[in-house]
A and B are shown apart, each in its own frame.
Chain A
Amino acid sequence: MSAAAANGAAAGTAIVINQLRKGFYLDSVALMRFSRSIAAMPGVEEAALMMGTPANRRIMADAGLLNQTGEAAGGGDLILAIRAKTRPSAEQALTQSQALLDQPAAPGVGATAWRPRTLRAAVKHLPEANLALISVPGDFAIAEARKAIRRGLHAMIFSDNVSLAAEAALKQEAQTLGRLVMGPDCGTAIINGAPLAFANNVPRGAVGIIGASGTGIQEVSCLIGQYGGGISHAIGVGGRDLANEIGGVSTLMALDALASDAATAHLVLISKPPPAAVMARVLERVAGMGKPVTVCFIGAGIMPMPVNATQVFSLKDAARTALGLRQNGDTTPLKAPSDIRAPAERIAGQNTVRGLFSGGTLCAEAQAIFIAADARVASNAPIPGAGQIPATPPGHQLLDLGDDSYTRGRPHPMIDPMVRDQPIIDALSDGAVAVILLDLVIGFGAHHDPAGHLAATVMTHRQQDGPVVIASVTGTEADPQIRSVQIAKLEAAGIHVAPTNADAAAWSLLAAGPTVAA
């Protein structure tokens, strides 16, 4: 049981209770889920169950959740912190928190199954292990990855919050050792048919993908599957691999490997536009590889390409080009379904698109579609040509809700769709919003029913003459959530579902009308 006695203190009129569990570790996702259910209890203003690292303690102090008990916690201690209107509610919440922590592990895991604590012991247990999948907090993630590559494993680092210098040092060592480091902040990979972290159940085939973005890989791999093709391997490299400080170490290693991989006939490369020096190095390697390559630098302008490479400007076109379904210069005709309300019927002032994305690259792709249509757009994660929020005046806003500034101390919206509820509710009652544009990403790692949750939120909070809602679903029929089932749930709630994220963006522009054109 708890190592320290409960310690109550009044903060204003509220009651703050902190309790410590010494040396009790649980991963942050589980803790955040617990925090949420405690915070939802009657009379509870705020609640957090967190490991007592300095950063976490600061977050809790800022949230008015910390008293001297919690302040004394160490990094290996779990803090249970509750702020409630009355002492009885606070104590009830504390009791409930303890019960959550003490509930037995889910059955089926095997109560007596041995689990190694260290990579060293795990490798002894599974000597042929060839990949470490790492999702522990940032600083620790680098240390674990270093151990992995030194033991001859490749590493995929899902964790973020890693310094650029640490990433550079790790990747340089990995290069020397000939080991691949995917990440940090690598959300998706498919190696030899095995989906890692947030990936979809896509058919195997001849297209190899290298991506600096998780949702970009997911959208392209799913569309390739939908269009009748398949994936040999999808290699994530992390969002900063092409930064000058890193120099594209992992991207170049992945290019070399796929160049000589017999299963891969065509490559797709997805990234934000890299800096010039790195871009030159990458395109030089592309030029020498003797296989056709589709290059999608989301947000980049037209640039010279090697003869074996084709530049595309959307994820959708990347998928079509890789399968030979699209010739250079061919643009997809945009046609919104006739039942989307025409701009003329909108009430005055209702003329902007509010995009609320869980996928960063899906948000970037939507911005690219807007910019290509000469629509003025702003984002918290702007691509070249888009305005920076909050500095930009009101207009079309495409927000990446998976960005660090939204996810610190909270689950990612792909894991917990509830994170997106409040922005959606706000937009539904915002008189300036004509269209709410959403993505929905399913597959391994994602929430078990994001469409059901989204449909319920929209149906509960939609208003007479409020904005229309347009969405797309990134996923496959073989995913646990089943794409067609998710689409049906959205459509039953009156949400318009476009075949791709790019189409959804285009539809939303048509539905919002030309009012905010640049």
Chain B
Amino acid sequence: MSENHVKSLLETPLKVVNIGLESFSEALVEQGVEVVHLDWIPPGGGDPKLADLLSKLE
């Protein structure tokens, strides 16, 4: 197994990218946590065929 970076997660101030429910962002902001909220939409406009193709081309 390679290096476990979880320890450093616990020792560093949390900085969050929030993908989904906006209320989770709001709670973090209230607690003074730095957070970027994504304007997320389903990849490929929700077309499963395109999403599949995109994942293979990553």
A interface with B by C-beta (< 8 Å): 23, 25, 27, 29, 51, 53, 74-77, 115-119, 122-123, 125-126, 128-137, 140-141, 143-144, 148, 152-154, 158-159, 175-180, 191-197, 201, 232-233, 253-254, 256-258, 260-261, 263, 444-445
Contacts and interface: CB of A to CB of B under 8 A. Distances in A.
Given A74-B47, A75-B42, A196 B17 contact: no
A444 B28 CA distance: 9
A321 B1 CA distance: 33
Most chain A beta carbons < 10 A, residue from B18, B20, B27: B20
Given A76-B42, A115-B37, A194 B14 contact: yes
Given A74-B46, A115-B37, A140-B42, A131 B16 contact: yes
Contacts of A154: 5-6, 9
A285 to B, nearest CB: 12
> Majority SS of interface residues in chain B?
mixed
Contact of B2 (A125, A148, A177): A177
A140 B43 contact: yes
Nearest to A148: B17
B38 A118 contact: yes
Contacts of A197: 24
B55 A194 contact: no
Contacts, number: 167
Interface of B: 1-7, 9-24, 27-28, 31, 33-34, 36-43, 45-48, 51, 55
Nearest to B55: A143
A196 B51 CA distance: 28
Nearest to B40: A136
A377 B46 CA distance: 44
Given A140-B42, A143-B55, A261-B7, 14 more contacts: A27-B21, A74-B47, A130-B9, A132-B16, A132-B19, A136-B19, A144-B19, A159-B20, A178-B1, A179-B5, A196-B24, A257-B9, A261-B11, A445-B24
B30 to A, nearest CB: 8
Contacts of B10: 191-192, 232-233, 257-258, 261, 263
A159 B7 CA distance: 24
A197 B22 CA distance: 10
A178 B5 CA distance: 5
A93 to B, nearest CB: 25
9 contacts: A25-B41, A75-B46, A117-B38, A154-B5, A158-B24, A176-B1, A178-B3, A232-B10, A256-B7
A257 B27 contact: no
Contact of A117 (B16, B20, B21, B40): B40
B46 A126 contact: no
Contacts of A77: 46
A117 to B, nearest CB: 5
A123 B34 CA distance: 12
Contacts of A134: 19-20
Contacts of A128: 12, 15
Q: Closest 6 A-B residue pairs measured CB to CB?
A: A135-B20, A76-B46, A75-B46, A257-B6, A115-B39, A444-B27
Nearest to A232: B10
Given A178-B6, A196-B24, A257-B6, A76 B41 contact: yes
A129 B10 CA distance: 13
A194 B28 contact: yes
A29 B21 contact: yes
B26 to A, nearest CB: 9
A28 to B, nearest CB: 9
Contacts of B28: 133, 194-196
A116 B20 contact: no
A195 B23 CA distance: 12
A119 B19 CA distance: 8
